[in-house]
Amino acid sequence: MALKIGDKAPDFEVNDQDGVPVKLSDLRGQKVVLYFYPKDMTPGCTAESCNLRDNYERLQDKGYEVLGISSDDEQSHRKFIEQENLPFRLLADTDRKVHDAYGTWVEKQMYGRTYMGTARVTFIIDEDGVIEDVIDKVDTENHTSQILKGIASNGEAHDKTDSIPATPTPAPVPVPAKKVAAKKVTKKAPVKAPAAAKKAAPKKAARKTAKKAAKKVAKKAAPKKAVKKVVKTAPKKVAKAAKAVKKSAKKVAKAPKKAKKKAR
């Protein structure tokens, strides 16, 4: 069963990054930000932890102690703290007993693959050990703002320092009149350029059409030349053929005479 606002926060005892046991009930009288995150040194978890690091003093001023918790071991936590210079403790829930108590060890999906892992959820626990807020849609880069807004919505005083101001949008810089005129000129200038190009275009087009026409004429003229060659060479070929026929006829005519002479 998922924990909700008003529920008693389950007590636990688990080692921090240095192997020192941390018991939730020992923090009674102090408010706690207990944030569950999937894994050390991953992009989303780094962004979330660094946002809490950068606003740690503000949370302490509100009376809150920050505790991060995941299923990573103590050595991994120490490396994460050293790498990102985190000022708060990270709890090593390697056997996931705290995850089970808070309902944060859940079935997850990634790239079509189903697996068990830590849900990114933050519990805000008051001085009496009661859950006063649950943030299950964590904005990793602006998590402190979510926590402070949750505190304000639960009836606490909310001063101007509770919200992280957005980066102001710079006012538009006025453009001098001369520059405006220059912009107008440059906008109109491209219209004149095509006109000059159009004047030069007919000459190029004429050259192209002339070349095309010459090619067409050459193609048309080619068959006529071939015909002339045929006309010139045909009579000669016919004459040669006729002579060959005459010779063969003479040979045929002479053949019987030769045969008679041999018979005598």
The whole-number pLDDT of residue 91 equals 98
Give the helix, strand, coil percentages of the chain, each rounded to 5.
55, 20, 30
Q: Which residues make Cβ contacts (< 8 Å) with residue 183, sequence separation at least 6?
A: 175
- Residue 154 in any domain: the answer is yes
Joined together, the tokens standing for residue 148 give: 């402070």
Domains held by the chain: number: 1
Boundaries of domain holding 105: 13-162
Q: What is the mean pLDDT of residues 18-31?
A: 96
Q: What is the pTM of this model?
A: 0.59
pLDDT given at position 215: 65
In a domain, residue 70? The reply is yes
Q: What angle do CA 180, 183, 184 make, to 5 degrees?
A: 90
Residue 179: its pLDDT value, please? 47
Output the pLDDT for position 182.
Answer: 46
Is 200 among the domain residues?
no
Q: pLDDT, tens digit, for every residue of 176-202? A: 444 444 444 444 444 444 544 445 445
The string of pLDDT tens digits covering residues 197-244 is 445 445 555 566 656 665 665 555 555 555 455 555 556 665 676 677
**Interval 249-262: pLDDT, tens:** 666 666 555 555 55
* Residue 150 placed within a domain: yes
The identity of residue 140, as a single letter, is: T
> Does residue 50 carry a catalytic annotation?
no
Position 244 in a domain: no
Q: What is the Cα–Cα distance from 109 to 116, expressed in whole angstroms?
A: 8
Catalytic one among 45, 119, 138, 147? 45
Produce one character per residue of 78-91: b if its CB has 16 or more CB atoms within 10 Å, e if not. bebbeeeebebbbb
Q: Please indicate, yes or no, if residue 171 is contained in any of the structural domains.
A: no
Chain centre to alpha carbon of residue 184: 37
Q: Which residue has the higher pLDDT, 22 or 244?
A: 22
pLDDT for the residue 139: 96
Tens digits of per-residue pLDDT, 75-91?
999 999 999 999 999 99
Question: Per-residue DSSP letters for 194-259?
Answer: HHHHHHHHHHHHHHHHHHHHHHHHHHHHHHHHHHHHHHHHHHHHHHHHHHHHHHHHHHHHHHHHHH
Whether pLDDT at 171 is above 90:
no
**Is 216 within the bounds of a domain?**
no
* CATH number for 137: 3.40.30.10
Residue 246 lies in a domain: no
Nearest to 92 by CA among 152, 150, 156, 22: 22
